[in-house]
Structure 1
Amino acid sequence: MHKGSMLKDKVAVVTGSGRGIGRDIALEMAAQGAKIVVNDVGASVSGEGNDASLGQQVVDEIKAMGGQAALSTDSVAEWHSAHRIVQCAVDHFGRIDIVVNNAGILRDRMFFAMSQDEWKAVIDVHLNGSFNVSRAAAPHFKSQQSGAYVHMTSTSGLIGNLGQANYGAAKLGIVALSRSIAGDMKRYNVRSNCISPFAWSRMIGSIPTDTPEQQARVEKLKKLDTAQIAPMAAFLASDAAAEVTSQIFAVRGNEIFLMSQPRPVRGMHTAEGWTPETIAERVLPAMKPNFFPLESSAVVFSWDPV
């Protein structure tokens, strides 16, 4: 954690900040001078339970280092409770400048076995939660003509992963949400960006370790500290990032990547219009070399982090 003043006098809401990446972001932002609403319902990885002491510990840590913090135990998944999270910032500190949408749960299951509840629970926290908290802050950002959103996406959505249809769909949905927020709120000097973090946390603690290859991958991930994500979040929330919006950054150890976004790769035109047959005969062979392989994050990021 680096002491600085990049977020002096700013007020940040960090959801899911009782532990893991969220906790490190809250501590880093506090060290940079921000006043923090530590929001955490204190649930298990799958979303069960309610332990307010986790968030309170982080509040106490921030106060012990001379910072200001308040605790919120409201859920991001419901419209009204998400609004209470933002109101907590306004009540305690008089304003809100930064929203970090970090709260998340996992219900990993192969798609063909996934239940409706497993789908809905993950979408509610990640995607609906990111919308709810962002939307609650929007009128404040709009009226003060400033504000920054930092959302958490994942290579499970950007690239793909087995057994995470719910999580991957939510995380790619968050990218589109961030882009829409960036566009809709640009005129109010409000920015919105995504971080795709690589770090050992409870979120990936459920990766299967049935084979030696999987075990080796998990051992590598365990070396990636959640605290290494926090500097990027603090930067994106700061005035130094005034020109940065609608971007996706991946952070892996000491590596930072700018991730691509969907754009046309190949195009074909015919004056007479296409038929299913001519698509099979002409389009398929022309475009097939440019098809994207069905890959997982581990294949795309195949080298060890430095």
Structure 2
Amino acid sequence: MAQQQNGGPMVEGKVVVVTGAGGGIGRDIALALAAEGARVVVNDIGTSTSGEGQDAGPAQQVVEEIRAAGGQAVASTDSVAESLAAGRIVQCALDTFGRIDGVVNNAGILRDRFFHKMSLDEWDAVLKVHLYGSYYMSRAAASHFKEQESGAFVHMTSTSGLIGNFGQANYSAAKLALVALSKSIALDMQKFHVRSNCIAPFAWSRMIGSIPTDTPEQQARVAKIQQMTPAKIAPLAVYLLSDAAREVNAQVFAVRNNEIFLMSQPRPLRSVHQGGGWTPQDIAQHAMPALRSSFVPMERSGDVFSWDPV
């Protein structure tokens, strides 16, 4: 659990909902929040990483861990992928603790498939949990945040969306859309002192536990990824939900072991201008050759974050 530093607990008295908190990153965030004084709604429907099966155990187990350490928590097993169920998750915070101060949109599933083989169900299922789920949760909390003129959202995005990856069109689309959703929430609700930020986590979890380990090289890569424990993500999430982060809004961070990154957001790179406008032929002959040196390379996350975690 997170250690107390620099005086009192960072989120003393706050009530925070953490979705997908039965294991992995969500669990560590829930534990860290509780250690820093928050009362936590531990939400997890207890399915596999692909969304199958259901088990109330994981959420309750994390609640017991928090209580054993002297913290306050309650389990929720509703699904974020349905609006009414998401509403019940927020209501659980209100019924149990009397208020809501923060939401961590962490719940997720994977249905990896190369795009030309992806089924409609594989697309829908992932969008429903990651994007719709984050919208449903945020929308359910937003009315309460507006009324009390305070509140904070932390959404889990991914470099698969920010940069790119193979076989994850559904996941990547949802995760990049989540960045735009977060920015919109931040812009629309800043006048009510509501903040919305994203974290792209690098961490060993069930989500990436399916990486093959058939060769020594693959085994070495997985060993390095395993150093990046979910506990490394939790401190930034706790900070972003605290009053100490009151000036931090609409940002995208990444956490990779002991590194914290501020990620860029799309801005113009360069332009070309032609007084009389452009024909397709002019574009081919002049515009594209002028712009080509600034083209964004066809990289995936591993190409950009190419060094070993430290």
Tell me how far 1:215 sits from its aligned partner.
3.8
Counterparts of residues 140-179 of structure 1 (less than 5 Å)? 140-179=144-183
1:6 aligned to 2:22?
no
For 2:214 and 2:301, locate their aligned partners in 1 and report how far apart those are by CA, in whole Å.
Answer: 18
Secondary structure of 2:207's aligned partner? coil
For 2:157 and 2:213, locate their aligned partners in 1 and report how far apart those are by CA, in whole Å.
Answer: 23
Secondary structure of 1:232's aligned partner? helix
1:111 aligned to 2:129?
no
For 2:19 and 2:162, locate their aligned partners in 1 and report how far apart those are by CA, in whole Å.
Answer: 22
1:237 aligned to 2:237?
no
For 1:187 and 1:208, locate their aligned partners in 2 and report how far apart those are by CA, in whole Å.
Answer: 48
Deviates more, 1:167-176 or 1:209-218: 209-218
Q: 1:86 aligns with which of 76, 90, 94?
A: 90
1:207-238 Cα offsets, whole Å, 9 max, x none, are 34456544432221111111000000000000
The residue type equivalent to 1:195 in the other structure is I
Q: 1:253 aligns with which of 253, 257, 267?
A: 257
Deviates more, 1:76-85 or 1:197-206: 197-206
Secondary structure of 1:70's aligned partner? strand
The residue type equivalent to 1:160 in the other structure is G
With structure 1 as the length reference, what TM-score do the two structures score? 0.98
For 1:146 and 1:135, locate their aligned partners in 2 and report how far apart those are by CA, in whole Å.
Answer: 14
Q: 1:126 aligns with which of 130, 144, 149?
A: 130
Tell me how far 1:82 sits from its aligned partner.
0.3
1:285 aligned to 2:289?
yes
The verdict on how the C-alpha distance between 1:57 and 1:189 changes in structure 2, with shifts beyond 3 A counting, is same
Tell me how far 1:205 sits from its aligned partner.
1.4
For 1:70 and 1:8, locate their aligned partners in 2 and report how far apart those are by CA, in whole Å.
Answer: 17
Secondary structure of 1:185's aligned partner? helix
Secondary structure of 1:86's aligned partner? helix
- Given that 2:233 and 2:255 are in contact with CA atoms closer than 8 Å, whether structure 1 keeps it comes out as yes
What does residue 265 of structure 1 align with? 269
1:47-68 Cα offsets, whole Å, 9 max, x none, are 0011101110000011111111
For 1:231 and 1:207, locate their aligned partners in 2 and report how far apart those are by CA, in whole Å.
Answer: 26
Secondary structure of 1:282's aligned partner? helix
1:137 aligned to 2:141?
yes
The residue type equivalent to 2:73 in the other structure is A
- Given that 2:2 and 2:31 are in contact with CA atoms closer than 8 Å, whether structure 1 keeps it comes out as no
1:196 aligned to 2:200?
yes
The verdict on how the C-alpha distance between 1:277 and 1:128 changes in structure 2, with shifts beyond 3 A counting, is same
Secondary structure of 1:233's aligned partner? helix
1:57-113 Cα offsets, whole Å, 9 max, x none, are 000011111111011000000000000000000000000000000000000000000
What does residue 223 of structure 2 align with? 219
The verdict on how the C-alpha distance between 1:168 and 1:212 changes in structure 2, with shifts beyond 3 A counting, is farther
The residue type equivalent to 1:14 in the other structure is V
1:146-194 Cα offsets, whole Å, 9 max, x none, are 0000000000000000000000000000000000000010000000000
For 1:219 and 1:71, locate their aligned partners in 2 and report how far apart those are by CA, in whole Å.
Answer: 32
The verdict on how the C-alpha distance between 1:210 and 1:159 changes in structure 2, with shifts beyond 3 A counting, is farther
For 1:208 and 1:305, locate their aligned partners in 2 and report how far apart those are by CA, in whole Å.
Answer: 19
1:76 aligned to 2:80?
yes
For 1:204 and 1:50, locate their aligned partners in 2 and report how far apart those are by CA, in whole Å.
Answer: 20
Tell me how far 1:284 sits from its aligned partner.
1.0
Secondary structure of 2:152's aligned partner? strand
Secondary structure of 1:71's aligned partner? strand
Report the RMSD for the aligned CA atoms in angstroms. Answer: 1.0
Aligned length: 306
Deviates more, 1:87-96 or 1:2-11: 2-11
Deviates more, 1:142-151 or 1:204-213: 204-213
Percent identical pairs in the alignment equals 68
The residue type equivalent to 2:86 in the other structure is A
The residue type equivalent to 1:107 in the other structure is R
For 1:216 and 1:265, locate their aligned partners in 2 and report how far apart those are by CA, in whole Å.
Answer: 37
With structure 2 as the length reference, what TM-score do the two structures score? 0.97
The residue type equivalent to 2:232 in the other structure is Q
